Structure 1
Amino acid sequence: MSGRHRKPEDEPEQRTGLDATERRAVLLSTVFRILGTPVVAVAGLVSAGLVIRATGPSTYGLVALVATVGLLLPFADLGIGAVVTSAASRSRNPAEDPYALAVIRRSYRVLARVSVAVAVAAATIMAVDGWGTLLGITTGPDDRLVVTLAVVLFGLTIPAGLGLRILIGVDRAQLVVVVMVSNSLFALAVTAGMYAGGVRGIWYVLPPLAGALLGNLVGTVVALRVSGLGTTVFERSSRAVSTKGLLEGSLWLFIVSVGIPFGLQVQRIVLSHLSTPLELSRYALMAQLYGLCWSVFSMAALAFWPIFVKRRGAADETVRLWLGATMGFGLLAALASIPLVAISPWLADVLSDGSIDVSATLAAAFAVLLIVQCFHLPSGMLLTTPSEAKWQAGCLAAMAAVTTLLAVAIAPTYGAPGVVLVTAAAVIVCQFIPDIAWIPRLVNRRRPEPDNQQVPVAVGAGVA
């Protein structure tokens, strides 16, 4: 998302090193994530075990597919969440900054309309009985209603998620970690309640989305309190401040946002159409375990978002930070991949009570994907200007196309391991290699921003 989302009358100072606030934000977000990961892991694994027992090994894949609708549709916020983070990070005090406040107000209004549009679209698909065609698999007559409710819940999380974006922008990423932990706990509570109440089948698509909505609402309350914005973001301003650039020039970052699910999450759709329900369930269960590792790195990367934003004019320092972050994330991911491969088959067997077998090959494929994605992750936080977004969109479009074509070709024969490995190969060829070859040049081409320059937006990790 690009657009004129900066405080136009105040040019932020250029920095060449991490200041105390930024060091604190990076450190605390890392510490909180380390402390929170066991909680998220236990909650997620217990939830998965309950869902598998309540749905059966074949239905679990469809449940996981629908429950991850937020991964398939991260572009539903039109990139406005990224705009809010950038506006908050470029303002010393968003509550006292008329422009930042105006951007956040309009963002809530626009995303409220998006939420309504998502609900209308879901109801339309239900009316024409189109979910089975879209998902490639059905479990029974309840699918129409339940999947529609799931998508409506997802739509409500879109404006509710702006609170997390505000927290990132004001260097409170550690609080985002707390909110994400609460998401898992809310989802577990709903799942356990349904299981205890004897609910079975497709209805288990709802707890993860309900948990995300409840957690995002908590995050909104915390963000508005911490930032000092309060309820003013829901009031009409008495002072006219133009925010007409909110959606201006958003094409390239919209393409980037669309490319993320088609490149990295399309495997679920491909498997649901071209493979067996059990193979989809194997993929879904291993993806659950992979997601525990990925969430640690993606959350840590978000702490670098405002750091890169504030250093647009310091090219050498930016490149040094990016190279250090790239190597650090990649090497740590390589270390994390060892236990991921070693224990995932055993964990999957325990969680599914032996009904879903995850092979060492599938675990190794996800480990490779984790490593290559983490090597690329800091680049998504760095590529911020409209021209860089255009460049990134091209890389992502290529990655999405390669992944989709190869996944369709090999899914019937090689199943889940095949589609994961072709995704990893596409990330290397279409994203990581171009990162290394071009990013230093792109950063060195930057020029100091005039007062009306567009505020940067970083993409790559996302907050669901």
Structure 2
Amino acid sequence: MYTLLVSLLASLPFADLGLGASVVNATSDRESGRISAREYNEQVRSTLTILVGVTGAIILIAALITSLDGWRFIFGEQESSSTNLAALFLGVMLALSVPLGLGVRILQGLGKNQVATLLAFTGSIAQGLWIFACIGLGAEPAVFALSAGAGLLTTSVVTFIVASKLAALEISSAFRIASRPNFISEYKPTNSALPYMIVIMGVTATLQLQRILLALVSNDGQVASYGYVAQFTVAVTSVITLASMNLWPRYRSLRAQFQLPATTVASHILTFTIVGAALGTLSSAAALILRSFITHDSITVSMPTVIAAATVVAAWAATRPSTLFLNYPAGFWLQAASSVACAASSVALTVTWGRVWGAAGAFAANAFSIAAFVAVPMSAATLMILVRERRSTSGE
């Protein structure tokens, strides 16, 4: 029950409809002087207008499900009144976090992703306090689940306030609902938000469906093996993703000034690939070494499985520079096509290879799909774009 309630929060990356990407670009452009403070404030205000509407829709849907006793079908017949209310309140917390989640995007645009990472600890503190309070009061499991929502909402509020101060954004005017959202062409939802939304969905399908698919084509032992090793790979890929985010505004600013040579990005791609391979190897080694201690020998992990898992980390790391460079309208659509192809390949190969090689096959399917449909083509496209732009500016 706790897991099901908390899983509602997994929808958060989709809730901003991809509009957060436009805010990152607009913030970076404001910092580099490409747009004025007034234009920037209008972009944020227009985005918040749409996201406040999303907030209202989420709350309305959650309230409707609650009034119709619909959570019974989601959580099962043993659902209690406290679970019903907990699901409603968790939905409200999720809804309120949607517009406030732009704080992280603003910090990314400012090149201060490390600040967002530090502020995330406020949510951990709030979640811990909630859990301790629940233990002290002897609360039901459904109330414990609200700790995740409390942590998320706390982080969102604090991050938005700090980001607004750093970006000199007027919070009161930003939340003044616009009668009609007014976006500069490059930041219109159809130009950036829609393809970015497709990218997020493709990445989610590529990275999150393997366990489900493996359960359909293999045995419980292979599913358990995959789940155990994946805990290590996910932790490492998350660190790599966070470490790379500051490249987004940096690339955008340097490119606008025609000061981003292809050799710089090529060196970044090589560096990230090498670091990814090293971290992937270390995480796989840790999974092997700690297996007996963590699982009490209840899970078997093969060498092909950890090798394939390490390759996934290396492939993912190799994608970071090019995907962050391509975070502009035309680049978003290129990424969207790539992510859809990657997801389709990952699903098809996981079903095929997972049936034969189990957990190793699932990791191998991921590694091949990410490398073949994202890392290689996106890196090649990035370098060709930069070479072409350099030639055009030099008059060749």
Same fold, TM exceeding 0.5? yes
Question: Using the alignment, how far apart are the partners of 2:302 and 2:146 within structure 1?
Answer: 30
C-alpha deviations, 1:130-162, integer Å up to 9, x for none? Answer: 547xxxxx7963697466655554333322211
Tell me the amino acid that sits aligned with residue 91 of structure 1: R
Equivalent residues of 1:344, 1:358 under 8 A apart: no
Q: Offset of 1:225 from its aligned partner?
A: 2.0
User: Could you tell me which residue of structure 2 aligns to residue 89 of structure 1?
Assistant: 28
Question: Using the alignment, how far apart are the partners of 1:195 and 1:216 within structure 2?
Answer: 25
Question: Using the alignment, how far apart are the partners of 1:373 and 1:237 within structure 2?
Answer: 39
Equivalent residues of 1:376, 1:432 under 8 A apart: yes
Question: Using the alignment, how far apart are the partners of 2:65 and 2:390 within structure 1?
Answer: 47
Equivalent residues of 1:311, 1:318 under 8 A apart: no
Question: Using the alignment, how far apart are the partners of 1:93 and 1:433 within structure 2?
Answer: 30
Q: Offset of 1:399 from its aligned partner?
A: 0.3
User: Could you tell me which residue of structure 1 aligns to residue 19 of structure 2?
Assistant: 80
Equivalent residues of 1:99, 1:241 under 8 A apart: no
Task: Give the secondary structure class of the aligned counterpart of 2:255.
Answer: coil
Tell me the amino acid that sits aligned with residue 238 of structure 2: S
Question: Using the alignment, how far apart are the partners of 1:277 and 1:120 within structure 2?
Answer: 39
Provide the alpha-carbon RMSD of the alignment.
4.0
Equivalent residues of 2:245, 2:324 under 8 A apart: yes
Question: Using the alignment, how far apart are the partners of 1:315 and 1:358 within structure 2?
Answer: 53
Question: Using the alignment, how far apart are the partners of 2:215 and 2:6 within structure 1?
Answer: 14
Q: TM-score, normalised by structure 1?
A: 0.69
Question: Using the alignment, how far apart are the partners of 1:263 and 1:303 within structure 2?
Answer: 24
Tell me the amino acid that sits aligned with residue 74 of structure 1: P
1:403 lines up with 2:346 in the alignment: yes
Tell me the amino acid that sits aligned with residue 107 of structure 1: T
Q: Offset of 1:426 from its aligned partner?
A: 0.6
Give unpaired runs (5+ residues) of structure 2. 392-396
Structure ID, larger Rg: 2
Which of the numbers 99, 102, 108 marks the counterpart of 1:162?
102
Q: TM-score, normalised by structure 2?
A: 0.79
User: Could you tell me which residue of structure 2 aligns to residue 212 of structure 1?
Assistant: 152
Of 196-205 and 379-388, deviating more is: 196-205
Q: Offset of 1:444 from its aligned partner?
A: 3.9
CA distance 1:206–1:373, shift in 2 (3 Å): farther
Which of the numbers 99, 102, 114 marks the counterpart of 2:39?
99
User: Could you tell me which residue of structure 1 aligns to residue 58 of structure 2?
Assistant: 118
Task: Give the secondary structure class of the aligned counterpart of 1:141.
Answer: coil
C-alpha deviations, 1:204-237, integer Å up to 9, x for none? Answer: 6544443222212111121122222242344539
CA distance 1:233–1:320, shift in 2 (3 Å): farther
CA distance 1:335–1:445, shift in 2 (3 Å): same
User: Could you tell me which residue of structure 1 aligns to residue 203 of structure 2?
Assistant: 260
User: Could you tell me which residue of structure 1 aligns to residue 315 of structure 2?
Assistant: 372
Taking the TM superposition and a 5 Å limit, the aligned residue runs for 1:335-374 are: 335-345=278-288, 347=290, 350=293, 354=296, 357=299, 359=301, 361=303, 362-374=305-317
CA distance 1:190–1:174, shift in 2 (3 Å): same
Q: Offset of 1:319 from its aligned partner?
A: 2.0
Of 420-429 and 356-365, deviating more is: 356-365
Equivalent residues of 2:260, 2:386 under 8 A apart: no
User: Could you tell me which residue of structure 2 aligns to residue 389 of structure 1?
Assistant: 332
Q: Offset of 1:117 from its aligned partner?
A: 2.6
1:176 lines up with 2:119 in the alignment: no
User: Could you tell me which residue of structure 2 aligns to residue 43 of structure 1?
Assistant: none
RCO higher in 1 or 2 (8 Å CA, sep ≥ 6)?
A: 1
Give unpaired runs (5+ residues) of structure 1. 1-58, 133-137, 449-464
Q: Offset of 1:304 from its aligned partner?
A: 0.7
Count of residues in correspondence between the two structures: 381
User: Could you tell me which residue of structure 1 aligns to residue 176 of structure 2?
Assistant: 236
Task: Give the secondary structure class of the aligned counterpart of 1:311.
Answer: helix
Equivalent residues of 1:88, 1:169 under 8 A apart: yes
C-alpha deviations, 1:150-190, integer Å up to 9, x for none? Answer: 55543333222111111122232221121233334444444
CA distance 1:158–1:281, shift in 2 (3 Å): farther
CA distance 1:241–1:403, shift in 2 (3 Å): closer
Question: Using the alignment, how far apart are the partners of 1:277 and 1:314 within structure 2?
Answer: 54
CA distance 1:384–1:323, shift in 2 (3 Å): same
